[in-house]
Structure 1
């Protein structure tokens, strides 16, 4: 449920302030009933909304995937003026928000969407959505450490759920792939630190059925239709129609007409005096 003026603004009817004016003037109806109450809550997907008798279509659902670099905040804005992930996305008409967070020093797969229901289910602990990370640590991840990760690590906020661990490289600097189903704050880093293995690099490479693949750091892409359906079905939601974001139209500047060649000047410069 969202405020009526917000739904109208997101649907591209007008600015938020102008939409509030339309409501106050009695020009907006919900299921055939005129609404003048500011802040009236509606479900845009289930209720019929109209302005001056013309139906207002619900905002299309959009999902983007970003390969987040380190040194970016996973927030829409930052009061300290630090760079945020929003600066890496294209300008689109839809208002997108990150699905969960990646730490400032963590890179990798980050989803963005305007679908609140999808976001809520993806982040809800009861859904057990799998997150896969590639972790580079200082030191060797021996058999005992891998066993403890697989059984759960006791942290200050309780025992972690069992993790799936795959050894990728063993040495003074080791690389491990780990899959978890929880979303505690800085969880993967804290798990390895509890084992005496400081994390040097941390990258998320999968979120539920979505894999990062070969997307370069700092770049974004749309989900493929099959990925779109798989993501919704992973949280038991019916996939809405597949949609691409609405990119603003770029006005082409008309090139000035070419002027004809100037006629040759027949001056007297450099002429020899007769």
Structure 2
């Protein structure tokens, strides 16, 4: 069995980054004023932030079907008989289905594992899969470990402006209208229980209360120093830093990594969004 490990730009990383690790990546598409760009290739996070500030309409979509087919056809020519993929979750994108369809057309075995999120946990899972395979682990062991990582993960979003979620169809117009009128801060999340779809955890009146709610949830989930904890933001570095400090003060020993929220998500959340992603990576 010769396996090609494949992911997409939902990881927040470029094709070149993954190529150095022996992993293939396909760019998700970001549409700006009718023009389509390859995430992390022909459009980067600073460009997306500029567009958000300029209030330019943006949409996201799965990688180009032709590019998926071209990659898989090339892999088949190179002797690969199996595609192992961890793309952005099926609750947010049809990328997994498109990959599986392309593999079937080319008569290549396809193994896809849902990360039920995106960003850092997606990157960790595809990297873990490649490392475990290189270590000689069985496919059953790899899939079991990836599912454990996914089950341990929760991604929680605090959105400052609901209009982007409304426009992108991620939130009902009524919920968006009420949120703006009543100044409600919805606490949103996605994980294995929500099947990778964005769901509402709670609604509060202030950002401080929202952050306190998230910290309480992290504690209840058993997050500790063995977890990877990410604080992501959309052009809100100072607020993210303060948020991270609150988490560190509340959960002993926890370490925080700060990142820009990946473009595939920030396009829909808008400016000012703060997100926490917590998961327990592979056991050593």
Which TM bucket (shorter chain)? under 0.3
* The structure with more helix, counted as a fraction of residues: 2
TM-score by length of 1: 0.24
Give the TM-score, by structure 2 length.
0.24
Larger radius of gyration: 1
